[in-house]
Structure 1
C-alpha cells in the first residue's frame, strides 16, 4: 500500500494550488494534460497510452482500491468517465473503447491510487487487447456462490 505522499497521482493532483495550500505544499509537483477537473475528480491524458486519447479519471482523494474511496466521493468518480469518453470518441474518431478499473497487483493495478482508464480502440492493433479465460462452472455451483455472496451482503 502506498502513502499519499509517495503517490504519483497525488503529486499530479497537488498541482492544483487550492489543494496545495491545504497540504502545505508548492503547486506543480508533476504536470499533466488535464481534460477535466472538479473539486473531487481529475481526468488527464495517460503519458504511456495504449492508443491515441488514452485517458485516466482519478479521485482527488487518495485511496488504493475502489472500496477505499469514501461514499461522498464515489458518485462523482463513477459518473465522470462517461462524459470524458464521449469527448474522446468525438476527438479520436474511435467509436469503440474500453473503460477499465483494476484493484490490486494481481488484478494489474500499477499505481496504488484508484483510477479508471478510458482507452479508445480505433482498430484491432491499437488500444487494449484482452483475453477472457473462462472457468467451467455448473448451475449448482453458481447457486451456492449466490447464496454465499447474499449471506455477506
Structure 2
C-alpha cells in the first residue's frame, strides 16, 4: 500500500507558501506517496497541482457534502458534509502530516495529529506553539524547505 501524507495549510496562502506546497506535492509524487489534503484552494490546491503535474495521486477530503469548489487537480474527491470535522479524517488517513503555513484550520489539524501521537508531524513555515513558560511545545518537527520536510517525516531513507 502506498504511503499517504496529509498536507495541510491555509486556503488564503502567501506566494512562498504556495511555492513550498507545490514543490512538496511534486516531491511526494516522485516518491510514490498519495497526497491527502482538504481539496480546496491555497496550500491545498498548490500541493495538489504539484503532485498532479508529477503524475501523483491526490485525495481531497472536502468539508462540503458535494464537490463544489474542489480544486481541479484532485484524483479523488471525498465530499464529507462534515465541515471542519473533516480535519480529523485528513490527519487520521496519513502516515505523516506536513503543515505548510498557518491558519486556525491548520492549527486544528496540527493539534489533531499531535493528539493522535502515532505519526510524524512537520511544520514548514507558519506558526509555532509555545507553552506557558515560552518554550516551544515539543513534538512538532520544523522544516526549512520542502525537501527537508520530507526528510523529517522519516518515511524515506
The structure richer in strand per residue is 2
